[in-house]
Amino acid sequence: MNKLPVSIIILTFNEEENIKNCLESVRAWADEIFIVDSSSTDKTLEICRAYTDKIFSHPFENQAKQFNWALENLPIKSEWVMRLDADEKATPELASELLERLVGLNDKVSGLRMRRKVFFLGRWIKHGGYYPIWLLRIWRKGKANYEERWMDEHTKIKEGEILSLKNDIVDDNNKSLHWWIGKHNAYATREAIDILNLKYNFSGNDSLGGALFKSQEQEKRWLKERVYLRMPLFIRAFLYFIYRYFIQFGFLDGREGLIWHFLQGFWYRFLIDAKIYEIYKKSGKDKNNIKKFIENNYCIKFNTES
């Protein structure tokens, strides 16, 4: 397959179980592959060196800041940039579609979105609102960056049109359930901070905005911020799980789906609320006290430009 004018950027930290599949999926057609690592201690970088010499190290704070650092500092030469997570891979069908459509694409097009197909414990999670999830993952160099959020960050196109591709990327993490729970515990902390930042505006709200009848990302953002987050703590986690598992047919995903939808759709959301409750209980609902508590206990320094 011919090389395409695409630079792949992959953020890594201890991804030896996943990174080879990710790199194998793009090595035949990507013009450049960049690795931005945050001090891996396993064989991640050893594996990466077999595929690319463009390996950089940068301390990790959150996904948005790490990726924006990459966009601002990597010596990217290609016309297009693609984000791929270490536990994701591009399908051969997606590569063929890019080969057919990318070269000679109208200059007005600045971004390409694609669907993500999530596998959990070896099973495709097809129901419960989890497929299709559309993600903007390819854009012209210099035409996009990421929202400065602690969690749930999305790509922001600065100008131009966005097209949708027909084929998928696949999210298939090979790590253990023990690791998954630890990761989502950390995610819950970051999302609790993001929710409180949204409410109290500690460091401004850099957002693509939520809106109905627009992109899937904007519609989901609107529903989350205007509906879900206005519900009482804890109750909303129960309601969300019922909606996903029963109304959106998550039960059709079998035993693996039960585990996924319960952990990701209920336990994780309940844990976020528990962390918000803990912050309120220890600091009250005074904005300055909450801000100080978060900064002192989670080693975070909010940008106070707002």
Tell me the backbone φ, ψ of residue 216, rounded to 5 degrees.
-60, -40
11, 70 contact by CB (below 8 A): yes
Question: pLDDT value at position 216?
Answer: 87
pLDDT in tens, 239-289: 999 999 999 999 999 999 999 999 999 999 999 999 999 999 999 889 999
- Identify the CA nearest to 35 among candidates 61, 8, 14: 8
- Identify the CA nearest to 123 among candidates 300, 294, 260: 260
Give domain limits for the chain.
4-172, 177-298
Tell me the backbone φ, ψ of residue 39, rounded to 5 degrees.
65, 50
Counting as low any pLDDT under 50, the low residues of the chain are 306
Q: Which CATH superfamily is domain 4-172 in?
A: Spore Coat Polysaccharide Biosynthesis Protein SpsA; Chain A (3.90.550.10)
| Residue 69 tokens, joined | 């650092």
As a whole number of angstroms, the distance between CA 59 and CA 37 comes to: 8
